[in-house]
């Protein structure tokens, strides 16, 4: 279950993050790492378990010891971000992440650790060209 956890105006950030990889295989590996961490957080207690922690849990340390891709740069609290409402799509050698949350540093770090060149921006200020076309044609 994804949780909306925001108490300020930043909730409507309409954030878009695009990671471009050198190969399709690297993009697939990164998407698998994201799914693995989202599943891990859901299995081990969800948002509340990690949002308030200052120290790594035994389960988190096991991920580090096993060399789980993408966790080397994460802080204990950043794991909670994998319980939030974030949409992840992989196409060819890119991963596109969209969210209304502004705090997505865990995803950024994971993409970089997996070898991506990353672009992050507000889709409010920089909408997709397809969205512009739909708005101007009245659809």
Q: State the number of CA atoms in the 13 A half-sphere of 107 facing the CB.
A: 30
**Global pTM value:** 0.81
Per-residue pLDDT of the chain (139 residues; tens, 9 = 90+): 555 555 554 457 889 999 999 999 999 999 999 999 999 999 998 888 888 878 998 999 999 898 888 888 999 999 999 999 999 999 999 999 999 998 899 999 999 999 999 999 998 888 886 544 344 444 4
Is 58 buried (19+), middle (13-18) or exposed (0-12) by CB count in 10 A? exposed
Residue whose C-alpha is closest to residue 123's, from 102, 137, 92, 107: 102
């Amino acid at each position: 279950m994804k949780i909306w956890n925001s108490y300020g105006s930043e909730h409507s950030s309409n954030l878009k993050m695009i990671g471009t990889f050198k190969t399709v295989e690297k993009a697939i590996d990164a998407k698998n790492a994201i799914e693995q961490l989202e599943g891990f957080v859901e299995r081990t207690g969800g948002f509340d378990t990690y949002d308030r922690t200052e120290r790594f849990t035994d389960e988190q340390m096991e991920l580090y010891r096993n060399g789980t891709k993408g966790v080397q740069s994460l802080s204990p609290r950043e794991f909670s971000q994998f319980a939030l409402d974030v949409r992840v799509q992989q196409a060819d050698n890119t991963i596109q992440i969209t969210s209304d949350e502004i705090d997505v540093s865990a995803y950024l770090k994971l993409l970089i650790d997996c070898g991506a060149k990353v672009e992050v921006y507000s889709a409010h200020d920089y909408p997709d060209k397809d969205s512009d076309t739909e708005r101007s044609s009245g659809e």
